[in-house]
Structure 1
Amino acid sequence: MTSTFPENRTAVVTGAGAPRGIGRHVARALTGAGWDVAVLDIDEASVQAFATELAAESGRSVVGIGVDISDKESVEAAFAIIDRELPPVLAEVNLAGIPSPHTIFELDAATWDRVMDVNAKGTLFMMQAAATRMIEGGHGGRIVNTSSITAYDGGGTFSKTGYAAAKAAVLGLTRGGARELGKHGITCNAIVPGPIDTDIMGGTLTDERKAGMSSDIPLQRVGQPQEVAGLIKFLVSEDSSFVNGDSVFVDGGKHMV
């Protein structure tokens, strides 16, 4: 099933509250590509302020909504606002997540549950809500999830075993979603970032630390949020209509080392 997206369409982007995060770059890239956007984050004040700013600079309809993606009722309440205030949802980008620097012996039940709830269960709840609307709309759609190089290498300085497990679960959700939703014209893909200069890491990184992290990256540098945003813009576009169930690395070649 292939279809042409309607002119008026909405992309939902989670994790858009952090000023130096990937989510804001994605939202800007998508408004520039003709999408109206719902930006979601647990930090309601931050994401609402950003929505006002982005609407003014882009001329698109942008709504900022506070949401706890690990709570299904919170997710459904957010989508009820989107249904009321924006055009139909045809793209959904899951960027919200939390790190976990705990080693395998430091992981207790509460920490494990929180890391899995936000990174994996939250992704599932967002996929369910978005896909339901895409199926009802009949135009297909795009879902992009965020895994991590950590799912493959087991982690490093900033995130370790719990985070690796949660991001590996995201890969399974992506492939399952691709298989089950494909008949509705909905593609589901994952991005696999390596070290990216964002608030999670970049805010506390010195140039020396960045150089150290870059030593095993063929491009010899960490990535920038806008480089991830460019990939996501393609994956939610009509041009990516036959890309499905993939895990696309955006890590400067780190996964090859």
Structure 2
Amino acid sequence: MIVYFSGTGNSRYCAQFLAHALNDQAMDAFSFLREQAAAELNSQRPWVFVAPTYAWQIPRVFAQFIRTSTFKGSRDAYFVLTCGGETGNAVHGLTDLCAEKGFSFRGLLPVVMPDNYLVLFPAPKPGEAEEKITAAQPLLLEAARRIEAKEDFSMVKVGALDKFKSGPINEGMYRFFIKTRPFHTTDACVKCGKCASLCPLGNIHLEEGKPIWGDRCTHCMACLCGCPVNAIEYGKATRGKARYQCPVYKD
């Protein structure tokens, strides 16, 4: 079974691609994350966890979901992390998570997809997103082949800088940078409420039709990139930047 978490669609696309290639089921963790609920799942086929890379680690909310949920059947666990470039030393945390859950860790596959973190990075240029999505497909096919053959993913090389990124920098990002205060709406807001419905953590409520952000945020950018009128900004960092949402996978 493929279990995934996605903010703007990159990881959803990869999960659905793998599900089609493996003739398996892709399950979105959205409803469990939103309700802060644990899942009880059963699969005789390998578990494939697909998620974005947040500050060179698996998102903490998704790691916590895995930690608190029950997975019966297969004990093999593969991880596919979508990223803008690389995954640092995420493999270390995933190894520990698998040991905690009694999984056999079968490897991490970094998949470069269009970057959606507009707080720090520019939006994909015209045509760039499509090129990256197309370039990721052979890698996903090879991943499906390895999963089907019960082979490990290739070892991810980790250096001292990778350990620093996934360690102190990751800690600093969560402690000092991932905040909700800079989120705000412009006069373009039409009070449709879509941002609240898109938030995987249920962190947005509406007051007189306008969104108010709470303190349970993982900076997935679902609200900002999913606004139909581009009325959500993050301070000055996102002004003038095109929004990005990965297209829905079609076989």
TM superposition score normalised by structure 1: 0.43
Higher strand share: 2
Higher helix share: 1
TM superposition score normalised by structure 2: 0.44
